[in-house]
C-alpha cells in the first residue's frame, strides 16, 4: 500500500463529510427543501463519488517531500525560506 493511498484514505472521510455537509446545506436552504427526503440519498452518493478523486489529488501535497521541494525551489530562486512560512 503506497503512502499516497494511505493519506488519501484518511482524507477520503474528511472530504466525504465536508461535501455531504455542503450538499445537505444547499438542499435544505434552497427551494429544494420540499424534496429533501428524495434528494438526501443523492447528496450522499454524489459526495461519496466526488470525495475519492478530491482526496487523491490532495494527498501528495501533504507529504513532506512536496514541502521540501518547494523550499529548495524557493532557495534557488533567492527567496528567503523559513520553516514556519506557508509555501
The model carries a pTM of: 0.70
Residue 79 in domain? no
Whether 28 maps to a domain, the answer reads: yes
> What range defines the domain where residue 9 resides?
3-62
Is there a domain that residue 68 lies in?
Answer: no
Tell whether 71 is covered by a domain.
Answer: no
Question: Is 81 a member of any domain?
Answer: no
Give residue-wise pLDDT tens across range 13-37.
999 999 999 999 999 999 999 999 9
Of 87, 13, 2, 6, residue with least CA distance to 51: 13
Q: Give the up-direction half-sphere exposure of residue 8: CA atoms within 13 A in the CB hemisphere.
A: 16
Residue 50 and residue 79: Cα distance in Å, rounded?
A: 37
In tens, the pLDDT along 39-74 reads: 999 999 999 999 999 999 999 888 876 666 666 677
Domain membership flag for residue 42: yes
**Domain assignment of residue 83, yes or no:** no
Amino acid at each position: 500500500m503506497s503512502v499516497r493511498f494511505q493519506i488519501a484514505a484518511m482524507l477520503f472521510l474528511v472530504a466525504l463529510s465536508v461535501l455531504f455537509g455542503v450538499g445537505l446545506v444547499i438542499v435544505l436552504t434552497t427551494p429544494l427543501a420540499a424534496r429533501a427526503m428524495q434528494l438526501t440519498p443523492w447528496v450522499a452518493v454524489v459526495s461519496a463519488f466526488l470525495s475519492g478523486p478530491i482526496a487523491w489529488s490532495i494527498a501528495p501535497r501533504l507529504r513532506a517531500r512536496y514541502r521540501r521541494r518547494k523550499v529548495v525551489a524557493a532557495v534557488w530562486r533567492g527567496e528567503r525560506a523559513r520553516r514556519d512560512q506557508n509555501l
